[in-house]
Amino acid sequence: MNVMSRTWHRFLPRQKHKPATETLDGRTLTALATVIFLVQFPHVFHLPIWVSLTGATLVALKLWRHNRPDDALLRRLTSPVAATFIAAATAVLIRMDYGYSLGRDPCVAFLFVLIAAKYAELKRANDATALLCLSAFLLLTQYFYAQSILAAVLTLPAVFAFGVALAVLRDADNPATNTDHIKLVGKLLLQGLPLAAILFLGFPRLPGPLWSLPDDAVARTGLSDSMAPGSIGSLSQSNEVAFRVEFDGVPPTPEQLYWRGPVLSQFDGREWTEHDTRVEAHPQAPSDNTRVHDYTVMLQPHRQRWLFALDTAASLPYPDNPDTTAGITPRVLGQLMSDGQMIAERPVTQVLRYRQSSVLSDTLATNVPPAPHTLYLPGKNPRTIAFARSLREKTTGPWDYAQRVLNIFSENEFHYTLQPQLLGDAPVDEFLFQSQAGFCEHYSAAFVVLMRAAGIPARVVTGYLGGEMNGDYMIVRQSHAHAWAEAHIDGAWRRFDPTAHVSPLRVEQGLSAALPDEVTATGLTGTLDANWLREAQLRWDAMNHRWQTLVVNFNDASQEKLWEKLGVGTPSLMQIVVGFIALSAVWCALIIGLPSWQHKHLPPTERHWLQLCRVLARRGITRNTNESMSEFLNRAALAWPNQQARLTQLNTDFSALRFQRQYSAESDERLTRVRRELLQLAARAWPIGRRGPHSTQGLNKAQTAR
């Protein structure tokens, strides 16, 4: 019976007993924690603080448990059950915090905590490999938020830490130092840079982004599709960049830079909103004596559909560096509506670079008659309506009436301010006859109400006014946000800017010149006079602009220009693949062959000695700097018992070759024996087993086999 039982058990699978303690040592855990910190750090600035604290706490608990392995509480907190519970609870809390689950921000937040939870319950090398894969994906997600040069700089140390962690995992049983790992990873990254450059310059560009996520229900930056008293003023206190502009020629003067945005024509007595009655229109054709300004706009993501162009647009927006092949019409990125507003195909969620042409004009000609809602007034500002009707009776026509209204702002004690008082249910009445202090939205809204009350169609236009030159391009910030008015007179929409009559400096020199004290108090460093901090900000912005232009926006058209500069035609996909394989092969041959080429001039004894050192290094036996040749080989013979006789013989041969006369019969015989022994030794130095050449299990199997 016992014989049958023993025979039967031979066919049963052997059960693997889990170790009582974790198998990952402190060096491996530290390397993995470094990776996690570097991939999580870029997300700390846009995730809820509790998410960041949860991730940091889980990592700290794991490191603490390694230092205190007998602590029962720490063992429970970092167990797989606890990690699973924390991940599930985090998913629920993220859903409650954001209000939705599918989107960029909640998904990144959950992955942020999931990686920390996975680290907390690490036990085996396979778990560490899965953790590194998740961390690599989290590192890429920072480009969902920004593709600036800062994002690239933050990626470099994380990539370096990835390489070090992989080297530590590979050499878990090898006494190699962290310095050796750092040197190895640095060498590999430097060797891979030429191949990465070739791939970047020659690989065919994709027409769209590599990822697509549901739109996040987050606050949209920049101008809104509505305007109420104080909305533009609060936006003007932001120093964020709205877009950058590169002019083909000399830029226009500041008072000509009216960047047209949302047109608001519907009014409920307090708030101005867009109306959906507009239709598609064609760009205004310039006359023979009109100068057309051509420029490139690099629009920052604002999650709305509108684009910006100088009044008035003379073309539709099309991509920068379009396909210039004969017979191919450039793809249009947006439509021009009858109210002069430019609408994109979809919301702008990434940096959008487009070409645009405009004619600087304060008149927008249109064949579409004014809609009835451009005359509508809800009756919440009766005093303003009564005043406008009495003033209209004293004028000779619409032009005379509009000039009389503008004179009211310039001849009375109206003040331009970022901090107006709060207005009640009749905001226009209170502004015109009581406070007489406000920002651009107060003046434009009051002007439109006065025009409508006189029977003249009018509307509010929002956008940006001015810009700031930084070298060869212009920066338009949120602090340049502005609102003006348009009235339909003599068959066309005419621009009127009542702010220019109250504060001419706002139009001519910008917000900082018009309100120096208030701008300083609000901390708008982007609009202050030049100083060392100001210069540093502009230089940093210039670097980001060049990065965006030369790297992020490098597309197929840029590749075609590169091929033209090199004097070759656009290669086909097969030519690119073959060329890349050939260049890669040459580069790899140089990297692999250079060490051997450098050693070819060495004597045979020195070449064989270097080869022996490399063979022993594969077994984890490296020579100390203060160790002689004989001491090193004696130690190697003790560390590799199965090859002790061969190593002892090699020690004798090398000692004799170093002090014997070269090119003798005895030296030739010894060299032949050294080469033969080295081949035998190298064949037995390759890794055996799953965990690599330095695994104890693999070494035991190798010793048993030999």
Mean of pLDDT values over 511-523: 57
Locate 41 and state its tokens: 């750090």
Comparing 68-82, 183-197, 588-602, which segment has the lowest mean pLDDT?
A: 588-602
Per-residue confidence band for 583, with pLDDT thresholds at 50, 70 and 90: confident
What local confidence, expressed as pLDDT, does residue 319 receive?
85
Q: Over 50: is that where the pLDDT of 611 sits? A: yes
pLDDT bin (cut points 50, 70, 90) of residue 600 is: low
- Whether the per-residue pLDDT at 592 is higher than 50: the answer is yes
Confidence of residue 11 (pLDDT cuts 50, 70, 90): very low
Mean pLDDT of the chain: 81
CB-based burial, 256-268: b 16+ in 10 Å, e otherwise: bbbbbbbbbbbbe
**Least confident residue range of 26-40, 199-213, 359-373:** 199-213
Considering only 287-296, 507-516, 644-653, which range has the smallest mean pLDDT?
Answer: 507-516
In this model, does residue 310 exceed pLDDT 90?
A: yes
User: What share of the chain in percent tops pLDDT 70?
Assistant: 83
Q: Is 177 helix (H, G, I), strand (E, B) or coil?
A: coil
User: Is the pLDDT higher at 22 or at 116?
Assistant: 116
Lowest-confidence region among 31-45, 325-339, 508-522: 508-522
The answer for residues whose C-beta is within 8 angstroms of residue 27's C-beta and 6 or more apart is 168, 178
pLDDT digits 0-9 by tens, 70-110: 788 888 888 888 888 998 999 999 999 888 888 888 999 99
Q: How many residues are there in the chain? A: 706
CB–CB of 272/227 below 8 Å?
Answer: yes
> What does 462-531 look like in DSSP terms, one character per residue?
EEEE--EEETTEEEEEGGGEEEEEEEEETTEEEEE-HHHHH-HHHHHT-HHHHSHHHHHHHT-GGGSPP-
Per-residue pLDDT at 376 exceeds 80: yes
Question: At residue 279, does pLDDT exceed 80?
Answer: yes
The whole-number pLDDT of residue 15 equals 41
Query: Rounded CA gap, 514 and 183, in Å?
Result: 57
Q: Is the pLDDT of residue 579 over 50?
A: yes
Q: How many CA atoms lie within 13 A of 627 on its CB side?
A: 14
pLDDT at 511: 66
pLDDT of 599 reads: 53
Q: What is the pLDDT of residue 565?
A: 78
Residue range 61-70, pLDDT digits in tens: 888 888 887 7
Predicted confidence (pLDDT) at residue 9 exceeds the cutoff of 50: no
Longest CA–CA span in the chain (Å) reads 125
**Are 498 and 460 a contacting pair, CB within 8 Å?**
no
Average pLDDT of the segment spanning 38-50: 92
CB 227 within 8 A of CB 270: no
Are 220 and 304 within 8 A, CB to CB?
yes
Residue 16: name the closest of 178, 124, 133, 130 by CA.
124
**Mean local confidence (pLDDT), 682-700:** 47
Task: State which of 195-199, 465-469, 674-678 shows the largest mean pLDDT.
Answer: 465-469
Looking at per-residue pLDDT, the higher value among 216 and 196 belongs to 196
